[in-house]
Every structure is written in C-alpha cells, then in structure tokens.
Amino acid sequence: MHCPACHTENAVEAVACSACGRALRSDAAEAVAAPPVAASRRSSSRRRRNANADDPSAINDSDNPAAWRAYRVSLWSLVPGLGLFLGPVAVLLGYRAMRSAGDDASARNRAKAAVLFGVLITLTQWLGVALMIYGWKK
C-alpha cells in the first residue's frame, strides 16, 4: 500500500505507514483527512460573511427576505382581483420591511417600491370595482 503522505510503500494489510505513521486504511484515512476540509470550508464561509458585514454594498438580497416578500406580494397583486387583497398586504409588508431595513438601502428601496405598488394597485383595482358597482346600479 502506498502512503499518501510520504509515498513510502507499505504492506497491503498495514494500518499505518511504517515511515510516517499516517493511517493507511481508506476509512481511517478519510476520518483523518475530513476534519481539515470541513474546517477550511467553514472558515471560508465565515470569511465571506465577514466581508459582507464590512461592506454594506455587498450584502446579499437574501439577507433581507422581508423586503423581497413585500416586493413579490406587490407584483402578485398586479393580477386583477388578487390586488384587491394583496395590494393592502403588500403595503403592510413593505411598510414593515422598510422600517426593519435599517441601513440596507437596496432593501429599503425595494420595500418602498412594494408600498408604492401596493397603494396604486389597491386604489386602481378598488376603483374598478366601485365603477363596476356604480355601472350596475345605473
């Protein structure tokens, strides 16, 4: 068996390298090799998160799901009929996301857009309903 660490040839049934003592059985070698890989993956993700914290412009959109949710609801409220109810929901969610966005300018703008959409859609769709009812009564 070939030692992966020092390339010394060992007996096939050898559990550890005769030269450097490294575990040779594949399952043992994996157990030894796995922790450094996991640790380096963990540290790289931690580094990425730290970079985001240092640079506000690098904050990912997924960091403010509330603003995205409000925005998505406002888009769904464009569907005629759905907007009668989703419009006010978009306004509410957008308003709450706006207040919780803090220094995140992109999330705040998205939440603001959701509020604006929600108000416009609610007004136009309820106005449409009002006009329809007015038309029936005439």
Shortest spacing between CB 7 and Zn ion, in angstroms: 7
105 backbone dihedrals φ, ψ, rounded to 5°? -65, -40
Strand partners for 23: 16
Shortest spacing between CB 15 and Zn ion, in angstroms: 12
6 binds Zn ion (CB under 5 A): yes
Choose the stretch contacting Zn ion; rule: CB under 5 A; options: 18-26, 33-41, 84-92, 97-105. Answer: 18-26
| Residues 109/130, Cβ–Cβ less than 8 Å | no
CA 21/CA 28 separation, integer angstroms: 12
1 binds Zn ion (CB under 5 A): no
8 binds Zn ion (CB under 5 A): yes
3 binds Zn ion (CB under 5 A): yes
User: Nearer Cβ to Zn ion, position 21 or 102?
Assistant: 21
Residues 6+ apart with CB under 8 A from 39: none
